[in-house]
Chains A and B, each alone.
Chain A
Amino acid sequence: MLADIEEFYRLDRLPHIWCPGCGNGIVLACLVKAIKELKYDQDKTVVVSGIGCSSRASAYLDFNTLHTTHGRALAFATGIKLAKPELNIFVITGDGDSSAIGGNHLIHAARRNIDLNVVIFNNNIYGMTGGQYSPLTPKVQKATTAPYGTIERPFDLAKLVEAAGATYVARSTAYHTRLTTELIINGAKNKGFSVTEVISQCPVSYGRRNRFNTPAAMLEWQREMAVPVIKARSMAPEELEGKIITGELYRGHAPEYVSEYTKLTQRLKEEAEGV
């Protein structure tokens, strides 16, 4: 156990149920380290998750936690933020949970620019249900529902949320632990909708079908494929084919939803009192 962060875990629930070599534990530790570095009060921090392997994470954490319904973590988180804007809210969601079942919640939460910090554990597959391909499974890669390789183009989730209105968008991998922590910290400091996509590994449902013989091979693949965003800017699109662009990808400015809502209620209250 990483002794310096164990105060944030429900130790009686560990060891966790994730498969050997699963990246979820690694990415979760990065998130916990980020919360520790941010010095957020444990009782004023909320972790909301949806459904899926990664969403199981909330059960292991000693914050205020909600393990909600499939794809709806952002809807629950939105409610919490509106009711208690002083709370620091982190949303843990997987690639399927965020981009398929919860796709609409994701784009509309981004459009509102509500002050939530989303960490997407992207392992490119529906692991828990047996390895069906998700909207983030790379083209030609195999899944139980794509035994000859998927013919669908995956989403570029970072571009999607940027276009939808998120004001902080970043990407890292499970291999790049320190970068992941740093990006989550920066996302939390952004007053608005922050998304950090972390490429993770599912050795059992994805790796085995796609010629990754070991979990370590998947981490090494992440290291090899990662291109820092500064370097990527000077590379041609064909050179970036299949690469993972990492770092802070986008930062924007837009009115934050809870602030706008507070302003509205304030104005209406004043008008009512003035009558």
Chain B
Amino acid sequence: MPKDPANIGKPEVAIKDSWCKGCGICVALCPKKVLVMNAQGKAVVACPEKCVGCKMCAEHCPDYAITVEVE
């Protein structure tokens, strides 16, 4: 999907849903509260615009389900 022009240059966080085991580490460690747990108990990106690209979530995801791309 092409990137929204407004988001160019901003970090992009993506979660591979099928690999997420719902441990909640990413949600707890994210300093900007970008992620939340959904009704199925899996992490989802709720506020992508707040992401600062620190990669706390990706580095601490035990299941390698999170990717953060920083341009």
Contact = CB atoms under 8 A, between A and B. Distances in A.
The answer to whether A binds B is yes
Interface of A: 1-3, 9, 14-16, 18-26, 29, 174-175, 177-178, 203, 214-217, 219-220
B62 interface: yes
A17 to B, nearest CB: 10
Given A2-B58, A177-B59, A219-B29, A29 B64 contact: yes
Contacts, number: 70
Contacts of B22: 20
A173 to B, nearest CB: 11
Interface centre among B16, B24, B59 (most CB of A within 10 A): B59
Interface centre among B23, B58, B61, B67 (most CB of A within 10 A): B23
B28 A16 contact: no
Interface of B: 16, 18-19, 21-25, 27-29, 58-65, 67
B63 to A, nearest CB: 6
B67 A1 contact: yes
Contacts of B67: 1-3
Interface centre among B18, B22, B25, B58 (most CB of A within 10 A): B25
Contact of A14 (B19, B21, B23, B61): B19
25 contacts: A1-B67, A15-B18, A15-B21, A15-B64, A18-B62, A19-B21, A20-B23, A21-B21, A21-B23, A21-B24, A21-B25, A24-B62, A25-B61, A25-B63, A25-B64, A26-B59, A29-B59, A177-B59, A178-B59, A203-B23, A214-B24, A214-B28, A215-B23, A216-B25, A219-B28
